[in-house]
Amino acid sequence: HELDLPPQDLFAETTSYDTISNAFFARLNFCDIAQWRKLLVITNEFHMERTKIIFDWIFHAPSDTMKNDNYSGGDESPYELFYLSVPDVGLSEDAIKARREKEGKSAATVKNHLSQKYTSIEKVFEFLTSEHSFYTASSLVERGMDDGTAQDKVGKLVQDSYGGISRGGRGRDGTPRSSPSSSFLSGMIVGMGLMALMLFSSRRGSVTKYRSTKR
């Protein structure tokens, strides 16, 4: 409502379960098809460093097989990416600290390992379908049979930082409440903001550059 965008101009990326797949499906399912070229990616401050590394990696990855404007990649990538972080409101200091630690480790893994190994969009697809725990068939079967012990290993503060209640927690009314799929929720929120701003910027012809300030 604040942007005065009509409903038909809002698009939700709901295929992904984490930030890597969010960037992947945003590019292939939306940007390459709709010819959206200027993107403003919005997410929390604690999530921004890893988000920027991932989106820069995915959107600038060349293609080994599809040589056209959509998949040129590298230095000639048609995409212009801008980033805007929002304050980490609604979380305790301990939860933010736990999440920042997790984000830092994950960002280092993406920057130093994944982006160096999977250097084309096809290789990213290979990673998602053969190694990613949210997309490989065997991992999905194991996840479906999990009794909750795998979730317990993550840690309560990190779980709660995704916007859910950790396993065994209670809702505001005091009744027991199970945690939603935290990675799905996180990816969907980032994706919805991304899709809305991409179309908004494409209709206006430009995007304003934002620089986040850290306290």
Q: Is 60 exceeded by the pLDDT of residue 125? A: yes
Q: What tens digit of pLDDT does each residue of 31-75 get?
A: 999 999 999 999 999 999 999 999 999 999 998 876 554 444 445
| Verdict on whether the full-model pTM lies above 0.75 | no
- Distance, in Å, from the CA atom of 58 to the CA atom of 55, rounded to the nearest integer, reads 5
The mean predicted confidence, pLDDT, of the chain is: 75
Burial track 202-211 (b if 16+ CB lie within 10 A, e otherwise): beeeebeeee
Q: What tens digit of pLDDT does each residue of 143-202 get?
A: 777 666 655 555 666 666 665 544 444 333 343 333 434 443 444 445 545 555 555 555
The per-residue pLDDT for 194 is 55
Q: How is 64-130 classified by DSSP, letter by letter?
A: SS--SGGG--GGG---EEEEEEE--TTS-HHHHHHHHHHHHHHHHHIIIIIHHH--SHHHHHHHHHH
Can you tell me the mean pLDDT for 69-95?
Answer: 79
* CA-based nearest residue to 99, from 55, 48, 133, 58: 48
The per-residue pLDDT for 188 is 43
